[in-house]
Structure 1
Amino acid sequence: MSTPTPPYEPLTYERQVQYANHEQGSKKQRRRRGGAGIIVGAGVVALIAGAAGGAVGYTAAKSQAPGLTIASSTAASTSVAAAGSIAAVAAAVQPAVVQLNVGNGEAGGTGSGFVISDDGYIVTNNHVTGAGGEIEVTFSDGKTATGKLVGANPGYDIAVVKVDRTGLATVPLGESAALLVGDTVIAVGSPLGLQGTVTTGIVSALNRPVTAGGEGETAFINAIQTDAAINPGNSGGPLVNGAGAVIGVNSAIASMATGAGQPGSIGLGFAIPIDVVKRITNELIKTGTSKTPIVGVQLNMTFEGPGAKVAEVTAGGPAAAAGLRVDDIVTKVNGSLITDPTSMIVTVRSFAPGDTVELTVTRDGEAFTVPVTLEASKAKE
């Protein structure tokens, strides 16, 4: 008896900053493996994140992406965008969106970012700046400046870059907590090095657990899912609402697991909620580092759920103080359903150190709730 063909190919979510050394794709990205790297539908979807990342080579991004033929038009436009339209939002946001070319010798990568203060602070993804080397920032008017890395938190995939300029256009920061599934959203960035590209869609889902693994540390994101087209090079760029306020930082896309070629948009993009980004960026700007909240347990990452199973309780930590034990299963955090270990990690990371959350726990078949005050991780993020 033959096995029927599955209705879809497995999906992968891959952090993919591509480096160029005169040839696109000359340096392949290593995939980080382990229990934490598998999220949605274990065994069906593998996680690749940050494919929105600086995924076009530095050389290509400074001109035009390889394989693209772009015809120019000399027709002048006198159209005026209607107030409240996508065109009006794009016109307001684009001046604050930048392209980041990050290079180290002949190798480099391209990503996006956005200006949050008129004196030059720029938010982007850690996986955009993580390659190291010189950071060249290109503004919407074509002017460039050298950027300096202020700080980064790989666990959240957030970085802040500073340029020595004043009077810059900025974009307002909104509230991701106010989002509803179905809300209109707009992505702006430099996919394939095409600076100032605007795409639009809706919020497809909220609180989607996504892990982003690459050559560096795995990031855990309680993501906003959108069908707005997000492609390599969009990473670090803003996802804005209909009022033109940033509600997320584009970070990852899902891609069919064909194993060949550069992934592109299939309508499954993921952004880091701005409410989390604001806390991280404020800490990075003030201190150069940021804090990650912890419960004080190690989870069994092979446990398939439902829930997250405790493998170890850290002595003296918040969980120990709350009376958690090995083999306890956490099923909810502040009422949010926990389906697997990854969903618990991303849910906890949506809070801040010092916050008190209520855990719903199952022990020996009996359910109970317990308050836990989150601490800051002492480990390097």
Structure 2
Amino acid sequence: MMRQPRPLAAILALLALAAFFASACAPPVPHLVNRSARATSPSPSGSRSTPLPSLAPPSASSQGSAFDATHAAAVLAPAVGLVIVNLAGGHVAEGSGFVIDVNGGQSYLATNNHVIDKAQKVQVLMPDGRHFVAALQGTDPLEDVAVLKVPDTLPKSEFADSTQLKPGQPVVAIGSALGGQGFGSVTVGVISALHRTLTNVGTSGQASESLPDVLQTDAPINPGNSGGPLADGAGRVVGMNTAGDTNANSVGFAIPSRVVQRIAGNLIAGRTPGHPYAGVSYLPVEDALVTQDVQGYGVVVSCVVPGSPAEQGGVKAHDVIENLDGRPLNNGITFAGVLQLHNPGDSVAMSLVRGGQKVDLQVTLGERPATPASCSG
């Protein structure tokens, strides 16, 4: 039966000069979410997770002339499956997923939340021909991550540390482009930018939460690729493909592997995804300089939410936060992007400038409220 691709729209957003709460970050960019569709006939909770294991940086072979997409695909493709989603009205949506954990005869696959959204039934088809009806282990609509569980032992993918990626580094996107027609398809490109912000769009077409700190790539991300892995030259996952530009602008986006690993790890363990929250409103220094004299780099705190983790940790309005958790907030590294690497309850170091003096603080992150409180400077 003829397929009718149905990509989910997305919205071009420019860098806001307004302050953001804990999940705000870098300038938005245009995108379209991928989810192919065709017409056919008629959890426990908690907020903490175990620390992320130490990840190797992306393979050196993926950073130079030795890059071999054939090798990367051969390593990773056996762990990448076609996700088939039965929807209301006899419709079927198709995406991709990849195995991230195997335990006790059960295998867990990561995919995008928008791929399985509103599913009545989810099936997974693997390259070796095995086919399963999958259970939904858990989902995080805010970060567009979902985890599926199938009752068998499958080949497992490996992660590389997405925080070590560099612009220009070659990558491969593996998935099910155009659904079953493109099962196990491979496209090649480079990491064209880091620390982008993607405005997420749900199946209803209404804009929802943005995804901070995503990877931008020129590797084609086609309908059906959503939920599949973006990998380095060693076949290790550096991101999860989540959106592609259907305007032929050669732009695709992926959620960093460190974020996928943290959220999926929480879901597999039966915990809540965990949305870290500091409770500050801020402006990037380059924007604040338009109206005020600022010393230092990073972000300028506009105001602090009363009773928030930031206030309890000693952060004050007009502080200039230069470093968060040992990562300088420059060269595109964002406050919200660093927070994304953590769980509520984690303690993070903040280095800031206050009145020309260096100040070091420790802030214990909270869980983001359903409706974050506002503050005024």
| TM-score of the alignment, normalized to the shorter chain, above 0.5 | yes
CA 1:336 to 1:315, structure 2 compared with 1: closer, same or farther past 3 Å? same
Shift of 1:250: 1.2
Percent identity of paired positions between Structure 1 and Structure 2: 30
Q: Alpha-carbon deviation of 1:231? A: 2.2
Amino acid at match of 2:185: T
Residue 115 of structure 2 aligns to a residue whose secondary structure is helix
Q: 1:224 aligns with which of 215, 218, 226?
A: 215
* Cα displacement (A) at 1:177: 3.2
CA contact (8 A) 1:135 1:148 kept: yes
- For each residue in 1:233-252, what CA deviation from the matched residue of structure 2 results, as whole angstroms up to 9, or x when unmatched? 21111111111111111123
- Alpha-carbon separation, structure 2, partners of 1:289 and 1:305: 36
- 1:286 is aligned, of 263, 269, 272, to 269
Pick aligned residue for 1:357 from 335, 349, 352? 349
Please tell me whether the aligned partners of residues 81 and 126 of structure 2 are also in contact (alpha carbons under 8 angstroms). Answer: yes
Secondary structure class of the residue paired with 1:111: strand
2:258 to 239, 264, 275: 275
Residues 261-297 of structure 1: per-residue CA shift (max 9 Å, x gap): xx15533222222122222111111124221222122
Q: CA deviation at 1:310?
A: 4.2
The alignment covers a number of residue pairs equal to 318
- Counterpart for residue 183 of structure 2: 195
Taking the aligned partners of 2:322 and 2:67, their CA distance within structure 1 comes to 42
1:57 to 29, 34, 37: 37
Q: Is the alpha carbon distance of 1:379 and 1:265 closer, same or farther for their aligned partners in structure 2, counting shifts above 3 Å?
A: farther
Find the residue that maps to 2:212 and give its secondary structure: strand
What is residue 161 of structure 1 aligned with on the other side? 148
Alignment pair present for 1:181 and 2:167: yes
Q: Which structure ranks higher in relative contact order (CA pairs < 8 Å, sequence separation ≥ 6)?
A: 2
Segment of structure 1 superposing worse, 122-131 or 306-315: 306-315
Task: Confirm or deny: 8 A CA contact 2:229 2:241 kept in the other structure.
Answer: yes
What does the per-residue CA deviation read over 1:128-161, in whole Å, with 9 as the maximum and x for residues that have no partner? 2223322122222344321221112223221111
For residues 357 and 252 of structure 1, do their structure 2 counterparts lie closer, same or farther at Cα, with a shift above 3 Å needed? farther
Distance 2:211 2:354 in 1: 24
Deviation at 1:122, TM superposition (A): 0.3
Alpha-carbon separation, structure 1, partners of 2:262 and 2:24: 27
Unaligned runs of 5+ in 2: 41-65, 290-297, 372-377
Please name the residue that 2:294 is paired with.
none
Check conservation: 2:313, 2:364, Cα contact below 8 A.
Answer: no
Q: Secondary structure at the match of 2:213?
A: strand
| Unpaired segments ≥5 residues, structure 1 | 1-20, 61-82, 256-262
- Which position in structure 1 is the counterpart of 2:366? 376
Taking the aligned partners of 1:108 and 1:300, their CA distance within structure 2 comes to 43
Per-residue deviation, residues 111-133 of structure 1 (Å, max 9, x unmatched): 21101234220011122222332
SS of residue matched to 1:346: helix
After superposition, the C-alpha distances for 1:170-222 in whole angstroms (9 at most, x for unaligned) are 2222222343333321110122222211011222233x231332137414232
Matched, 1:242 2:226: no
1:225 shift after superposition: 2.5
Q: 1:190 to 1:214 in 2, by over 3 A?
A: same
**TM-align CA RMSD:** 3.6
The amino acid of 1:174's aligned partner reads: A
| Amino acid in the other structure paired with 2:265 | N
Q: Structure 2-normalised TM-score?
A: 0.71
Kept after mapping to 2: 8 A contact 1:173/1:247: yes
Give 1:253-268 correspondences, 5 Å limit.
253=244, 255=245, 263=246, 266-268=249-251
